[in-house]
Structure 1
């Protein structure tokens, strides 16, 4: 979750990176994540010959792989959020002050949108686009709430019990989410907004973004509440000195 939760095994106080470096890490990670989601969607659709399942499979493998890489590389700097829902939960858990959380979200959006434009540039498409791909309905909104709940659950559970496994756990969860959720598991408000700027395989029409955001934040808040109880530290039992 926060930069203190996924660090090297014995961090020193002097290792704590300043806010500019953490924001740069969030922007760079978001750039590569969003660029991968859009770019692999374009590549998958181009090479699949109209087979949507194959296109989605390509999109899935690339996204899961890049999540593993960027979390592994950047978690010691910023905590590797790349997602306003993750940042919100970190703020609620008092792991990040409000001012820094806001800057995290801005860095995620800025880096991610540039990543979307970079994908368009690489594939010789119009850089500035608006999606026309409709994604709406109660089923997809439920899918986004469940997908985001599961993502936060995965992160907090891994951080609590297996910190070194956060990167593979998140990559594997999102890979699974592409297939078990009706919405293909956006699970990220920033990437939802950025997808509205791409009229490609992974896009979403701007008119459909609002309900997705509501579902994502609702799922994140529910997961934060549940995990706060489920993964709570075990209370230390006081030693009964009367028996000594």
Structure 2
């Protein structure tokens, strides 16, 4: 079934909004209930985000592809799995949806709607972490969709759940998420000054993942097979 472009754009905006509501809302809840134990707060944030990704990709995947991420959209456009016009429109919808999702979380927890984060996440290790996190995300999407497309939602949710803990940056792996999280001074926040480094790392990781898996998944011509 093919959905109209307007419905696909709405799905990207709504799905990204719900994702950020989960990321920020679970961070606020985790921080409030953890008694100052950041490990417990991060665990709650992680489990909620991973579970929500499985659900959101399952729901919105058949409509828009459930990118929720400009890096994913750019990779899919480069692979010609989405047209240039749709890709150009997906990205602002993802950014707008992400910001609305942050504000939604603030409203649910009676926090000031308009905020700016002061949590610095700078340094080369953080940039490298985002490159690794985004490489792994692209690898998960491309590899699993090639061989078991029905398992993409679960695989992405599990990967992000793991990446929250094995990367120093807690795996933002998404430029729209990064920008939106600068607008919350909560557990999930990132200072605006740290955005450029994170996005640079994410784009490097996405490019590396796309190139690596374009090569890995390329089948040999029939006459060359042994």
Interval containing the TM-score (normalised by the shorter chain): over 0.9
Please, which moves more after superposition, 103-112 or 175-184?
103-112
Residues 99-155 of structure 1 show CA distances to partners (whole Å, capped at 9, x for unaligned) of 211110111111111010010001011000011001011111110000000000000
Equivalent position of 1:199 in the other structure:
185
Scaled by the length of structure 1, the TM-score of the pair is: 0.90
| SS of structure 2 residue aligned to 1:237 | helix
1:82 to 68, 71, 92: 68
Cα distance in 1 for partners of 2:73, 2:29 equals 30
Displacement of 1:234 in angstroms is 4.1
- Structure ID, larger Rg: 1
Cα distance in 1 for partners of 2:15, 2:217 equals 27
Equivalent position of 1:10 in the other structure:
none
Cα distance in 2 for partners of 1:163, 1:96 equals 17
**Number of residue equivalences:** 225
Please, which moves more after superposition, 197-206 or 90-99?
90-99
Structure 2 residue 22 is matched with structure 1 residue 36: yes
| SS of structure 2 residue aligned to 1:233 | coil
Instruction: Please list every run of 5 or more consecutive structure 2 residues that lacks an aligned counterpart in the other structure.
Output: none
Scaled by the length of structure 2, the TM-score of the pair is: 0.97
Structure 2 residue 113 is matched with structure 1 residue 130: no
Residues 197-217 of structure 1 show CA distances to partners (whole Å, capped at 9, x for unaligned) of 000000000011001001100
Instruction: Please list every run of 5 or more consecutive structure 1 residues that lacks an aligned counterpart in the other structure.
Output: 1-14, 239-244
Q: CA RMSD in A?
A: 1.2
User: Structure 1 residue runs of 4+, over 2 Å off?
Assistant: 233-238
Equivalent position of 2:79 in the other structure:
93
**Structure having the larger proportion of residues in helix:** 2
Structure 2 residue 14 is matched with structure 1 residue 25: no
1:57 to 43, 47, 50: 43
